[in-house]
Amino acid sequence: MKLSNKFTLSRIILAPVFFLLYFIPIWTGKFNSLSIFIMFPLLAFMEFTDYLDGHYARKFNEVSDFGKLFDPFADVVVHLSTFVCFMFSVNGIGYMPTVVFVFILYRELTMNFIRMIAVKKGVAIAARKGGKLKTVVYVISGFFALLLEALVRLNVVVEFFGVLRIISICLFVLCLILSYISFIDYLIHFSKLLKD
């Protein structure tokens, strides 16, 4: 397996690890502090591999149609896994509204379906600028929500926590908006392919 694809695969493998680390304290009432100290570097590593796979694919001339599909698929696995987490908290109050998650899920699944249609026609749909911007906001929103959950799990009292939670909700709403803007951009850009 190419090095770039190994980095991509690592995200798919680590996403359920993050999911379990997030929920074990919710399920058991234990390991709050430990989970946070593992989840931050784990999330950072997963997001960094998104840069590494592209970097090494270009550096070693490993850019391929498979990679153009595998990379966004891994991104979807990571982001949907973490977004599910952020609907919940050890204190019972999540940071991402369920309705926002559901509509992002619809968008991501539909986009993957469109990529499959394109592959059947011999076209690999690579990430466009709108999709990359959406991903950046996904990452920022994820780290912000994890920071709030860290405050809760470490029992750090912040008087304006409610304001921070509203900011988190607004960030995820922005994720939703950007995801559909980029989706429309893909539909417009590849409309001829889809019509055919």
What proportion of the chain, given as a percentage, has pLDDT over 70?
98
Read off the pLDDT of residues 155-193 as tens digits, 9 standing for 90 and up: 999 999 999 999 999 999 999 999 999 999 988 888 777
pLDDT (average), residues 74-102: 95
**Which pLDDT does position 23 carry in this prediction?**
97
**Mean predicted confidence (pLDDT) in 84-107:** 96
At 60 the pLDDT is 84
Average pLDDT over residues 41-60: 91
Compute the average pLDDT of residues 115-124: 80
**For residue range 6-34, what is the model confidence (pLDDT) as tens digits?**
999 999 999 999 999 999 999 999 999 99
pLDDT attached to residue 122: 78
- The answer on pLDDT for 95 being more than 80 is yes
pLDDT band at 196 (very low <50, low <70, confident <90, very high): low
Q: Please check whether residue 91 is in contact with residue 29, taking contact to mean a CB–CB distance below 8 angstroms.
A: no
Please, what is the average pLDDT of the chain? 92
Report percent pLDDT > 90 for the chain.
67
Residue 101: CB atoms within 10 A of its CB come to 19
